[in-house]
Structure 1
Amino acid sequence: MTDTALVLDSAAQDLLFREARTANTFTDEPVTDEQIQAIYELVKYAPTAFNQQALRVVLVRSAEARERLVAHMADGNKAKTLAAPLVAVLAADNEFHRELPAQFPAFPQAKDVFFSERAAREGSARLNGAIQVGYFVIGVRAAGLAAGPMTGFDAEGINKEFFSDGEHSVLAVVNIGKPGADAWYPRGPRLAYDEVVTTV
């Protein structure tokens, strides 16, 4: 199978997918607010149910905030989180329904479900926020940076530390920067097409 079936050119395919890896070490080169804003402006168009935008991003820049975050990371994630140029805490806003535009065609249906049923709202926030997390990682790659997304952490601790309002749930913590020395673990295997795709 060649990449000729895809519209995206081969170099972009490599940048976003084939050559992109989860980085475990980074250089000291800073990641700017302008870069993060450019990433957000690109990935905010990710498709979600009812056009909900549940993702919230906390950029951890200060040494004090970094220490607070690292205290809740799994042991294997502490050192790299402490050393990364920038760390983003990605969370789902469980009260995302407050931001749904009333003029959106699906608003009446969404209002019936999300404004009255907390369990449905939280489940939808997590699912659609996770979709947005995936797009965020692709956006980081599109900016020529490497992402190190992690779910090895004490979620309850991070929620209390960074989202004391009780309205947000952490989804992932992402280290961001230029990859450093020995940044990559060996690439893990991927399932083949025929192991994943069926036609009915």
Structure 2
Amino acid sequence: MARWTPGARDRLQAAAFDVIRARGFDAVTVAEIAEAAGVTERTFFRHFADKREVLFDGQSTFVTAVAEAVAAAPARHDAVAAVRHGFDAAAEMFPDERRPRSRARGAIIAADEGLSEREAQKMRSLAVSIAAALDGRGVPEPEASLVARAAVGVFEVAFAAWIAEGETRGLREIQTSLFDRLGALLAG
């Protein structure tokens, strides 16, 4: 196998999705993922700490991007508008060409209880980061946590819709629609 081949990280992720979807997360080894990607195990471990990390790569980047966008929202924005601003910025991280990979990832996570718990932990971390960003904007508790958790719920529903078979709308469009619907529901 070649050393230092370009694109190894992307190939490892693509290979992991293919192999894990075919056989299940627990049945696949790092060695099998590396072989399918045409690299060594050592190369795998240069990019990922373990096989779970292949599926959760970019988690901290996403959480940071949302929280920073919430913090950077225009001062005139209330808590809800600031959070919407944060998720609008995050939607840019999920262009339509990323949808097939996100669908594969979603199917893998849904099929494994441990991975589903890890995904839920990621969402809790996101809510905490958003609440902290809102706190930095002067939003008191419990309002900061309520808005953060509701917004994460909107994102989860929007993302599930975005990766659903047959869906053609962009993530931002779906999020906007769901935030509007939630606002209407809460307004009574």
TM-score normalized by structure 2? Answer: 0.29
Instruction: Please state which structure has a larger fraction of its residues in helix.
Output: 2
More RCO (CA 8 Å, sep 6+): 1
TM-score normalized by structure 1? Answer: 0.28
